[in-house]
Amino acid sequence: MNPIVLRATSASILANALALGPQGCSPPPGPPPADLTVEQTMGLAFAKFIDTPVWNYYAAAAPEARRPLRLLIADPRLKSYHEDAWTLLGYVGDESDVRRVSASIEEWSNRTLDIDERRTLYAMIHALGLMGRRDVAGARELLIEMHSPDYWRKAQFQLYDRPTTGMPPDEYLLVIQAVRGYALASLPDAEDRARSVVRSIDDPEIRESVAAAIDAKQLADWVEYVRREEQRPALPEMLPRLERMFNGDLDAPGPATADGSP
């Protein structure tokens, strides 16, 4: 569920770090899980016992969970759960959630993000791609804006409170995520837009790092991985566990056994 924290020292290692998912070792595609209930969907948002992406369950999220998911992401006490809530909104959210992405980025202006906020930001970017795949108004357009480093410079926040050795500047790390998000929308121009991003970079070292991270193979592997994982069979025993993760209150959603702290 958590995006990979990039610590590479070369373009090739950066590319490998960005290749999310256990390539080549996933089970063959099977029937996706039946649609989750609202309570199971909310349990998935609070299911910190899961330490790997569960795209098959995300893809079965209940559209009726939109309201409690939005209440969750509006509560700063629950910010360690915002990442998964945004991934779920990628599958069920609408144009109002596209606006929420922009508003959240504006709220982070002039400060350094903490680890939960960084993970939430990556999840929001990828959620835009999932919404774009469903033709949600404004999602693709916002991702295209995010392909420019100027978009992120204007946001005026830092990803880290210290320089990241061997890594591109923050704005280019976020451009990489935006290109990967656009790829999730499964649009035919995704590779062309990635190449255009690379051509626009003047600094040769940054250009090499970004190019390695968003080349055609990296993007194809990423999209294939997500698509394959979305089709994994459900585990029947998982559903009762998900329900137990949620406090059951759709007006004040929270984890079942805690006050919102990790």
- Do the Cβ atoms of 17 and 7 come closer than 8 Å? yes
- Total domain count for the chain? 1
- pLDDT, residue 52, reads 67
- pLDDT, residue 248, reads 94
Q: Does any domain span residue 238?
A: yes
Neighbours of 92 (CB within 10 A): 20
Q: Does any domain span residue 13?
A: no
- Do the Cβ atoms of 144 and 108 come closer than 8 Å? no
Q: Does any domain span residue 80?
A: yes
* Element of type H or E holding 227: helix 216-230
To the nearest 10 degrees (0 to 180), the angle between helices 115-133 and 82-92 is 10
8-state DSSP, 81: G
- Do the Cβ atoms of 117 and 108 come closer than 8 Å? yes
Instruction: Write phi, then psi, for 204 (nearest 5 degrees).
Output: -65, -35
Q: Does any domain span residue 8?
A: no
Q: Does any domain span residue 90?
A: yes
Per-residue confidence of the chain (262 residues) as pLDDT tens digits? 433 333 233 333 333 334 333 333 333 334 455 689 999 999 999 987 666 668 999 999 999 999 999 999 999 999 999 999 999 999 999 999 999 999 999 999 999 999 999 999 999 999 999 999 999 999 999 999 999 999 999 999 999 887 767 789 999 999 999 999 999 998 899 999 999 999 999 999 999 999 999 999 999 999 999 999 999 887 888 888 899 999 999 999 999 975 443 3
Q: Does any domain span residue 83?
A: yes
* Element of type H or E holding 152: helix 149-155
Q: Say whether 237 sits in a helix, a strand or coil.
A: coil
* Element of type H or E holding 151: helix 149-155
Segments forming the whole domain that contains residue 40: 33-244
8-state DSSP, 28: P
- Extract long-range pairs of 3-10: CB within 8 Å, 24+ residues apart: 3/118, 3/119, 3/122, 3/123, 3/126, 3/177, 5/118, 6/164, 6/167, 6/173, 7/164, 7/166, 7/167, 8/166, 8/167, 8/209, 9/165, 9/166, 10/166
Instruction: Write phi, then psi, for 11 (nearest 5 degrees).
Output: -60, -40
Q: Does any domain span residue 132?
A: yes
